[in-house]
Structures are given as structure tokens and as C-alpha cells.
Amino acid sequence: MLTLTPMLTLNKQPIARRSFLLGLTSTMVAGPAFALDKATATQLVDRLVAEINRAINFGGSETKLIRAFENIFAQYADVNIIARSALGPAARSASSSELSAFILAFRGYIARKYGKRFQEFIGSEIVVKGTKNRGKFFEVEASVRLKGTTPFEVSFRVSDRSGENLFFDIIIEGISLLSSERVEIGALLDARNGNIARLTRDLVNLG
């Protein structure tokens, strides 16, 4: 009996440790407490739409509106995913410094472009209607209500691919931001013989 006691005591430690590790592992496998779901996607777009409504109805200059949109994109958009998608296959061959510079320039470009686009909505209201689970992402549908005209649809596609809950595409009247930018940036890159550095410099004056 005396010889067995140390063995039993030693065996308790690995069992306790295994139990702790199993418990920790099960918690990790269960996923983060704030994983993306339908309600979270809707809440994100509710906040995003509130910011857009404030920006377009603030009554400031175009410069201020664009600056507001740059802040909105920085906070709510998955700019890395959008920029990489817009750059297409060239993103895979770009150096890390080239890609970082392009993403930074692209953020300003996209803010200017869509800031001007949303300027057309001044005096209107964007209202969130509902959210659909599309499998790999959630699509939050909204309606733009302009005075004196028929409302039209805007959808925000939200995912957590980058480890954060962010929108990676906007569909305005059936036109995808992601798809249209892939075509336009591709054409701009082709016109510069695939030179990403030249495209990055030129994006500063585009949008």
C-alpha cells in the first residue's frame, strides 16, 4: 500500500491537468463570445447606416463628406479584403510594402468615390429592413428613401474573414462595389503595364 500511494498521488496531477486542458480546449473550440451572427451583422449595419445618415445630412462641403466617408470606411469596411480583391491576381505577387501602400491609397480613393456617390442621397434616409444568411456572409438589406422618388435598395455584405465583423461589399441598385472595383482597378493596372507602384501613385488623384 505504501508503495502504491505515490503512484496514485502522481497520477492525480496529470488527470487534473488533462481535465483543465480539455475544458480550455472546449472553450476555445466554441469560438469567440462575439462571433458573427445574424443579430451582430444587423447591429453593425445599424451603426454604419446611422453614421452614413449623419454624414450625408450634415450639410457640410464635399471635402468634409469625403473625410467622413474615409473615417466610416476605416471603421466599418474590410478595406484589406476589398483592396486585395480589386487588385486581383497581382495582389499575390506584390511585395508587402507595395501591397500596404496600395491599400492605403485605395482607402482614400474608395472614400472619395463613394463619398461623391452618397452625396446624391442628401436629404434622404437609409433604413435597415432585414438580414439574410448567405452561408459565408450575412447580407443586410436597406432601403434608401429619397423625397419625391421611389425608394431603392442598398445591401451591405458582412463577414468576419479578417477576424473582425466588417462589411466587404455594398450593392447599390444591383451593382456590386467589389465587382465593379475589380473591373476598374484591373483596367487601371493594365493601362500601367501591371506596375502597382504607378497605380498606387495615380490613385491619389482618382475617385
The answer on 27 and 126 residing in a single domain is no
**pLDDT confidence of residue 23:** 38
In this structure, are 68 and 139 located in the same domain? Answer: yes
- The pLDDT, as a whole number, for residue 26 is 32
pLDDT one-digit tens code per residue, 31-81: 333 479 999 999 999 999 999 888 888 877 778 888 888 899 889 999 999
Do 57 and 78 reside in the same domain of the chain? yes
What is the average pLDDT across 139-162?
90
Residue 46 sits in the same domain as residue 93? yes
Same domain, 106 and 179: yes
Examine the domain organization and report whether 6 and 97 are in the same domain: no
The three grid cell numbers given for residue 63, joined into one nine-digit string:
471635402
Return the percentage of the chain with pLDDT > 70, whole number.
Answer: 83
- 21 and 110 share a domain? no
- In angstroms, the CA 204 to CA 115 distance is 15
Q: For the segment 118-133, what is each residue's pLDDT rounded down to a tens digit? A: 777 777 888 999 999 9
188 pLDDT tier (thresholds 50, 70, 90): very high
Of 89, 84, 90, the residue nearest 107 (C-alpha): 84
Q: Which CATH number belongs to the domain containing residue 121 in this structure?
A: 3.10.450.710
Residue range of the domain that includes 66: 38-203
Q: Phi, psi (5° rounding) for residue 98?
A: -60, -45
pLDDT at 147 over 70: yes
* DSSP SS3 for 5: helix
Q: For residues 77 and 70, give the distance between their C-alpha atoms in angstroms, rounded to a whole number.
A: 10
Do the Cβ atoms of 123 and 103 come closer than 8 Å?
no
Judge if 2 and 81 occupy the same domain: no
- The count of domains in the chain is 2
Q: What are 202's three cell numbers?
A: 495615380
Kindly state whether residues 27 and 42 are assigned to the same domain: no
pLDDT for the residue 40: 96
- Same domain? 116 vs 26: no
Q: What percent of the chain has pLDDT over 90?
A: 55
Q: Does one domain contain both 27 and 46?
A: no
Please state the rounded mean pLDDT for residues 25-33: 34
Residue 68 one-letter amino acid = A
C-alpha–C-alpha distance, residues 146 and 123, integer Å: 7
Taking the C-alpha atoms of residue 187 and residue 193, their distance in angstroms, rounded to an integer, is 10
- Does residue 81 sit in the same domain as residue 167? yes
Q: What one-character-per-residue DSSP string does 41-110 give?
A: HHHHHHHHHHHHHHHHTS---HHHHHHHHHHHHHHHB-HHHHHHHHHTTHHHHS-HHHHHHHHHHHHHHH
